[in-house]
Amino acid sequence: MLKQGEKLLIVHRRLFEKDTPRFFVGEVEAYEAGLAKVKGYTFVKDLFSGSMKKKPDLRTKIMSIISGTFIVYQLPITVLLDSVRFELDQDGSLILRDKGDFAMDVGESVKRETH
């Protein structure tokens, strides 16, 4: 199903209300029978500032993406992995961005439209 070179956002499913958000953004190196070898960056919530912080080291993880503990999003192949970051927009939604044109709302709520 997944091919080498595809880019993913992997969200650790929060099992309890007080679990902190954790994300992994990376590129598929290999895939077989639900196991994905993905090279990329880990993001964790900073407990002091509340912002999402990128761990500086590039990591390779082997993840069972069919385990039910991850939510996996396929990202456009054009996403620039070295520049991905999380930002809060003016409405407080969490947005994944890169230096290019990519932006994805990964917030857990739906924005209300005002008329």
78: nearest Cα among 3, 6, 1 = 6
pLDDT reading at 112 higher than 90: no
The gap between the terminal CA atoms of the chain, to the nearest Å, is 42
Q: What is the tens place of the pLDDT at every residue in 74-105?
A: 999 999 999 999 998 888 889 999 999 999 99
> DSSP alpha helices (H): ranges in 21-73?
none
113/63 Cα distance (integer angstroms): 37
pTM for the structure as a whole: 0.87
Q: What is the tens place of the pLDDT at every residue in 15-51?
A: 787 778 889 999 999 999 999 999 999 999 887 877 8
